[in-house]
Chain A
Amino acid sequence: MAVKSIGTYDFPSRSRQELYGDDQLVHLWFQGNMWFCAAACFRAPKAMTWGDFWNGLVVPYAEEDPDFDPAAQRVWTLHGEQFTPRDDQTLEEIGVEHKDVIGMRVVA
Chain B
Amino acid sequence: MTIAPKAPRKLTMKQRYEALTRDLDWEPSYVDRSDVFPHTEFEGIKIHDWSKWEDPFRLTVDSYTKYQAEKDKRLYAVLDGFAQSQGHLSLTEASYLNAMKLFLQGVTPLEYQAHRNFAYLARHLDGPGPRFAALCQSIDEMRHTQTEIHTLSNYNKYYGGFHNYLEQHDRVWYLSVPKSFFDDALSAGPFEFLIAIGFSFEYLLTNLLFVPFMSGASFNGDLPTMTFGFSAQSDESRHMTLGLEAIKFLLEQDEANVPIVQAWIDKWFWRGYRVTALVAQMLDYMLPRKVMSWKEAFELYFEEQMLGGLFQDLAFYGIRPPMHVDDAIAEKEILSHQVYWTLYQFSHAAAFTTTVPDADAQKWLSENYTETFDQLYKPLWDKEAKNIEAGGRHFARGLPQLCQVCQVPMLFTEPGDPTTLCQRESVYNGEKFQTCSDGCQWIFEREPEKYVQAWLPVHQIYQGNCGGPTVPDVLTWYGIQDGDGGEYKGSVDDRNWQKWHDAADHSNIGSEG
Closest to A39 in B: B401
B462 at the interface (CB under 8 A from A): yes
In the bound assembly, the distance between CA atoms of A37 and B338 in angstroms comes to: 7
Known: A10-B449, A37-B341. A4 touches B383 (CB 8 A): no
A14 touches B446 (CB 8 A): no
Q: Most A CB atoms within 10 A — which of B387, B397, B398?
A: B398
Decide if A39 touches B449 in the complex (CB within 8 Å): no
CA of A67 to CA of B462, assembled, Å? 28
Encode contact with A along B387-412: 1 for CB under 8 Å, 0 otherwise: 10010001111111110000001110
Q: A25-B462, A39-B400 are in contact. Are A100 and B411 (CB under 8 A)?
A: no
Per-residue A-contact encoding for B360-390, CB less than 8 Å = 1, 0 else: 0000000000000000100010010011001
Return the CB mask of B444-467 against A: 1 if under 8 Å, else 0.
001101101111101110110000
Contact (Cβ within 8 A) B402 A41: yes
CA distance A57 to B38 in the complex (A): 52
Q: Are B42 and A6 in contact (CB under 8 A)?
A: yes
DSSP class of B's interface residues: helix, strand, loop or mixed? mixed
Looking at chain A's contact residues, the main secondary structure is loop
Residue of A nearest to B400 (CB): A38
A38 to B410, CA, bound (A): 5
**Nearest CB of chain A from residue B75's CB, rounded to whole Å:** 39
Distance in angstroms from B243 CB to nearest chain A CB is 21
Say which size band chain B's interface belongs to.
35 or more
Set of chain A residues within 8 Å of B425, measured between Cβ atoms:
101
* In the complex with contacts A4-B189, A38-B409, A38-B410, A25-B459 CB distance below 8 A: yes
Among B6-14, B53-61, B427-435, the one that faces the other chain is B427-435
A11 touches B398 (CB 8 A): no
Q: B38 is contacted by which of A6, A12, A38 (Cβ under 8 Å)?
A: A6
A37 near B397: Cβ-Cβ < 8 Å = no
Q: Is A22 an interface residue (CB 8 A)?
A: no
Judged by a CB distance under 8 angstroms, whether B345 is at the interface is: yes
Q: Are B433 and A99 in contact (CB under 8 A)?
A: yes
Q: Is A5 an interface residue (CB 8 A)?
A: yes
Quick one: CB contact mask for A1-37 with B, threshold 8 Å, 1 for yes? 1111110011111111101100001010101101101
Report if A13-B429 is in contact (Cβ < 8 Å); known contacts: A3-B447, A31-B420, A38-B410.
Answer: yes
CB distance from B124 to the nearest CB of A (A): 11
Q: What residues of chain B have their CB less than 8 Å away from a CB belonging to chain A?
A: 38-39, 42-44, 189, 338, 341-342, 345, 376, 380, 383, 386-387, 390, 394-402, 409-411, 419-421, 423, 425, 428-429, 431-434, 446-447, 449-450, 452-456, 458-460, 462-463
